[in-house]
């Protein structure tokens, strides 16, 4: 995160870290049950390559209170295009823990985030929160989870006339001083409605470098994929929204 601040240990309770070969390269968002939302470009169809770390705060902390989940199946959106980053969205279906019907042990530090069902739920100008262990302005990845507020931006296609596609959404600040960056990919952009309910409105996807004026961060617009999420999770999410 460029222009971010350090989080407190349980601030972003739906934030997960996607680990591949022992390294955290991406973030994700916990949707509840056995479901994690991330970017398609963060994963491959090989579930055994990935671990999902819950309630991780400091990557290198000696006291490890994180919960690790295994992946049963990687569901990459059928329209994902690795060249254009169209439909850069994926669901990780976690393995059920032995002897239970759950994929996670009880942990008060973990909370699910809601899935938005309509692209009308939040309007341009709304301030939302991004979080991740990705690069800062100096290009350093972070040990502690960072967060920042960014505004939803109208007319994403005006910033990226050649690369904008339906299902993409822009967020950032006018100065370009706050942005997601490499390593934050797959992580959530979360907006709160007036009653305090948190929705994962975006998934960190791409952008022209980070924190450049006129080049906001580009996110997969989760509401655009509501039907796919609902069907893929076998309607799981509707029970919670």
- Please confirm, yes or no, whether 88 is among the known catalytic residues: yes
Site for ligand 4AZ contains 55 (CB under 6 A): no
Q: Which is nearer to ligand 4AZ, 32 or 216 (CB)?
A: 216
CB of residue 88 to ligand 4AZ, shortest distance in Å: 10
- Work out whether 146 is an interface residue with ligand 4AZ (CB under 6 A): no
Q: Is residue 173 at the binding interface for ligand 4AZ, with CB under 6 A as the rule?
A: no
Is position 185 annotated as part of the catalytic site?
Answer: yes
Residue 67 or 179: which CB sits closer to ligand 4AZ?
A: 179
Out of 55, 75, 88, 184, the active site residue is: 88
Residue from 24, 37, 204, 222 binding ligand 4AZ (CB under 6 A): 204
**DSSP codes of every residue in the chain:** -BT-EEPPTTSSTTEEEEEETTEEEEEEEEEETTEEEE-GGG--S-GGGEEEEES--BTT-SS---EEEEEEEEEE-TT-BTTTTBT--EEEEEPPPTTSS-SS---TT----BPP--TTSS-TT-EEEEEES---TTS---SB-EEEEEEEES-HHHHSTTT--TTEEEEE-TTS-SB--TT-TT-EEEEE-TT--EEEEEEEEE-SSSSBTTB-EEEEEGGGGHHHHHHHTTTGGGGT-
Which residue's beta carbon is nearest to the bound ligand 4AZ? 207
Task: Write down the least CB distance from residue 192 to ligand 4AZ, Å.
Answer: 22
Which listed range, 29-37, 100-108, 112-120, 178-186, lies at the site for ligand 4AZ (CB under 6 A)? 178-186
Residues labelled catalytic: 41, 88, 185
Q: What is the contact surface with ligand 4AZ in residues (CB under 6 A)?
A: 179-182, 184-185, 204, 206-207, 210, 217
């Amino acid at each position: 995160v460029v222009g971010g601040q350090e989080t407190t240990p349980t601030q972003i309770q739906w934030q997960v870290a996607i680990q591949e070969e022992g390294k955290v390269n991406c973030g994700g968002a916990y949707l509840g049950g056995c479901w994690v939302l991330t970017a398609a470009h963060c994963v491959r169809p090989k579930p055994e390559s990935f671990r999902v770390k819950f309630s991780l705060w400091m990557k290198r902390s000696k006291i490890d209170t994180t919960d690790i989940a295994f992946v049963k199946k990687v569901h990459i959106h059928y329209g994902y295009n690795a060249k254009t980053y169209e439909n850069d969205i994926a669901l990780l279906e976690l393995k059920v823990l032995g002897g239970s019907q759950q994929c996670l042990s009880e942990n008060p530090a973990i909370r699910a985030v809601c899935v938005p069902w309509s692209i009308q739920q939040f309007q341009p100008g709304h301030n939302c929160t991004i979080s991740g262990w990705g690069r800062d302005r100096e290009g350093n990845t972070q040990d502690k989870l960072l967060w920042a507020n960014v505004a939803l931006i109208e007319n994403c296609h005006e910033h990226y006339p050649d690369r904008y596609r339906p299902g993409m959404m822009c967020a950032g600040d006018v100065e370009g001083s706050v942005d997601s960056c490499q390593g934050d990919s797959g992580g959530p952009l979360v907006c709160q409605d007036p009653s305090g309910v948190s929705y994962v409105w975006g998934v960190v996807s791409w952008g022209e470098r980070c924190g450049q004026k006129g080049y906001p961060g580009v996110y997969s617009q989760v509401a655009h994929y509501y039907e796919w999420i609902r069907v893929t999770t076998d309607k799981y999410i509707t029970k919670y929204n």
